[in-house]
């Protein structure tokens, strides 16, 4: 399925083919990078439409690199080193323009998942967008 997306500030824009399934990674590196589980969709193709010069990439392990927007810092994707280019990209689901129709198919490093990440079983306060903005005098 064709999908579009980009970073928060709009400096980086892309087109990708992938989905509808995505996964959540609970490894220590992903949790540090995303401040929680990193939710990513393996894509069959990824084409930068805008901002190639703004993408920053670093080697995060012996087997992967991670890329982010150099302007706003949005985490964009990680790429498996040595993988076939069409199979090696895992795109941050949060950067998609439209996340409808997606399904969480897999959680990896599930044995590293902190107990506090059990969002649906814990009794936490649920606050809507309208309620939150009202608390800050916005809206």
The pLDDT tens digits for 29-87 are 999 999 999 999 999 889 999 999 999 999 999 889 999 999 999 999 999 887 666 56
pTM of the entire structure? 0.84
Per-residue confidence band for 11, with pLDDT thresholds at 50, 70 and 90: very high
Check residue 9 and report its DSSP letter: S
**3-class secondary-structure state, position 42:** strand
Nearest to 13 by CA among 53, 58, 51, 59: 51
Give every CB contact of residue 88 below 8 A, 6+ residues apart in sequence.
79, 80, 81
Which two structure tokens, joined as six digits, stand for 26?
């609970």
């Amino acid at each position: 399925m064709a999908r579009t997306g980009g970073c928060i500030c709009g400096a980086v824009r892309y087109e990708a083919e992938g989905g509808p399934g995505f996964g959540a990674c609970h490894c220590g590196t992903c949790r540090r990078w995303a401040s929680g589980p990193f939710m990513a969709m393996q894509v069959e193709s990824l084409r930068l439409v805008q901002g190639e010069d703004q993408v920053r990439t670093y080697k995060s392990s012996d087997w992967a690199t991670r890329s982010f927007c150099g302007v706003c810092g949005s985490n964009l994707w990680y790429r498996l080193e040595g993988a076939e280019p069409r199979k090696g990209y895992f795109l941050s689901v949060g950067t998609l323009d439209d996340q409808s129709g997606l399904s969480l198919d897999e959680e990896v490093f599930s044995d590293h998942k902190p107990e506090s990440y059990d969002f649906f079983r814990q009794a936490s306060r649920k606050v809507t967008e309208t309620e939150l903005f009202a608390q800050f005098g916005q809206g």
